[in-house]
Amino acid sequence: MKQTWRWFGPRDLVSIDDICQAGAHGVVSALHHIASGAVWTPDEIAKRHREIATMQDGSPSGLTWDVVESLPVSEAIKRQVGPWRDHIAAYKESLRNLADSGIRIVCYNFMPVLDWTRTHLNWRLSNGATCMRFDLTDFVAFDLFILARPGAEKDYPTETITAAKARFAEMPAARREELERTVAFGLPGSVENLSLEDLRGLLATYAEIDADTLRANLVAFLEEVVPVAREVGIRMCCHPDDPPFALLGLPRIMSTEADYAFVMKAVDIPENGITLCSGSLGVHPGNDLPGMMKRWGERVHFIHLRNTTRESAGLPCSFHEAEHLGGDTDMVALIEQILREEARRKAAGRDDWNIPMRPDHGQDILDDLNRKGQPGYPAIGRLKGLAELRGVMTALSARLDQLAE
């Protein structure tokens, strides 16, 4: 696997110098300051390439921009309303501009309204580290009593509502405000951070859109853009829902292996592929990550390696971000399947045999706790995760080489 690192641009407190010292070989980035539906121009793309290629003292970093995460799909495209056809045209132009700059992998998602969703950005663990967490009771309290979404009570069993009511009654005002900010949290540099009123308005626009409609809109989007991606040499890969279950009455359509199977078969072109995020998919107890990699590896274009621990049974559930080799996903078994897929590709002469991977998320440890960087993306916590994953990769590679002899 090519070891990469997510970077949010010049405002990221983790610098290009830090990424070099972590030992990553490539960078995953995006132009978060450009609104969804707008064209990524050659000038803006070239500027990001230069930023990644240059250390703080002006010397070459040796790093390359290998993966775009994400080229966002607008809400208009997801709902097929307003200027959605113009936005698809802009998406195609952005793909062509990215390809001209040397980009070959574009990650995107089709989650309506919200990207990843958590209730805690800095939840304290017993060892003093902090991590991101989704607490179901807190989330239901937000839905019912802060957002006050009409009809929300129909989505939850009585015992969950009772627990949320009790939790909210004892929740200090500061925690209520923190919970509101956390649920609508955006990425650094984004132009689309949401207020509570923004969120209510966007949810209302999905009142008539169910999972079947959203899935059909995804297929229609891919039918338009994947042929362009194939033409210009870009592999597209859809990130799973995070978390992999319905929230706020919104449909979720990329949460399971069956969801991916449907979309891969609906647009059966090799460039229509998968971002295998072991953290997002791993929250769903029905997802077998090593098995999914074995069955669908030829369509996996990008990999996020992280782990989560489910705190309750069933779905929806509470969970938190675990250490990379902890949690509910068997990371060693998953990495073995990834390495086997890479070996198959190399033997077949595929030029994409070296699949880019990044250590996704991470717990805040040591000086991360003082740095106050992007939640989920600490410098030292991700470095620890990358070192652990690199060790597994090295050991398994040696063993697989021995077996092949």
Give the Å distances, CA to CA, from 39 to 5, 45, 109, 206, 390.
Answer: 25, 10, 17, 25, 37
- Tokens for 34? 């450009």
Q: Any catalytic annotation for residue 239? A: yes
CA-wise closest residue to 362 among 71, 14, 63: 14
Q: Any catalytic annotation for residue 277? A: yes
- Tokens for 72? 């966002």
- Report the 3 state secondary structure along 279-314: HHHHCCCCCCHHHHHHHHHHHEEEEEECEEEECCCC
d(CA 331, CA 160): 32
Point out the catalytic residue in the list 241, 360, 364, 368.
360
Point out the catalytic residue in the list 206, 277, 301, 324.
277
Amino acid at 152: A
Point out the catalytic residue in the list 120, 304, 320, 324.
304
Point out the catalytic residue in the list 32, 87, 239, 301.
239
What is the arrangement of strands in the sheet containing 307-310, beginning at the earlier edge strand?
A: 120-124, 130-134, 319-322, 307-310
* Burial (Cβ within 10 Å: 0-12, 13-18, ≥19) of residue 191: exposed
Q: Any catalytic annotation for residue 320? A: no
- Check: CB of residue 225 under 8 Å from CB of residue 92: yes
Residue 237 three-state SS: strand
Give the Å distances, CA to CA, from 177 to 54, 182, 192.
Answer: 39, 9, 19
Q: Any catalytic annotation for residue 12? A: no
d(CA 63, CA 385): 20
Q: Compute φ and ψ for 241, nearest 5 degrees.
A: -60, 145
- Residues noted as catalytic: 239, 277, 304, 360-361, 377
